[in-house]
Amino acid sequence: MDLKNKFPTSFSQKVIETIITIKRGEVTTYSDIGKKINSKAFRAIGTVLRKNPLPLILPCHRVVKKNGNIGGFMGKTDNKWQQDLKKKLLNIESHGK
C-alpha cells in the first residue's frame, strides 16, 4: 500500500510518522502528537487517524484523548465494539511489555 497516496499532505504524513514511533504498551494523546508536529489542529489529527487503512500496523489505537478517555478507533466514536477492541489492544500491549 502506498501511504503517500493515502496520506498525501505533509500534515498527514507527519501525523503518521509520529504514530509509528509510539512503542508497544505506550499511549499518547492527540495534543501530544500536535506538539511533536508543531500543530494545534487536534481534530485534524483525529481525522488523519480515522483514515488509517492499517490500524494494527500504524498504531492509532495507542492515541487517546487528553482527558484519558479512550476516544474512537477505526474511524468510529459511537460504536462500542471498536472502542472495546481498542481497550483490549491497549491492555494486551501494556501487559506484554
Indicate which residues carry an active-site annotation.
60
Q: Can you read off the three cell numbers belonging to residue 36?
A: 511533536
Residue 7 is given by DSSP the state: S
Q: Can you read off the three cell numbers belonging to residue 7?
A: 496520506
Answer for the pair 15, 37: CB distance below 8 angstroms, yes or no: yes
Cα distance between residue 97 and residue 86, in whole Å:
17
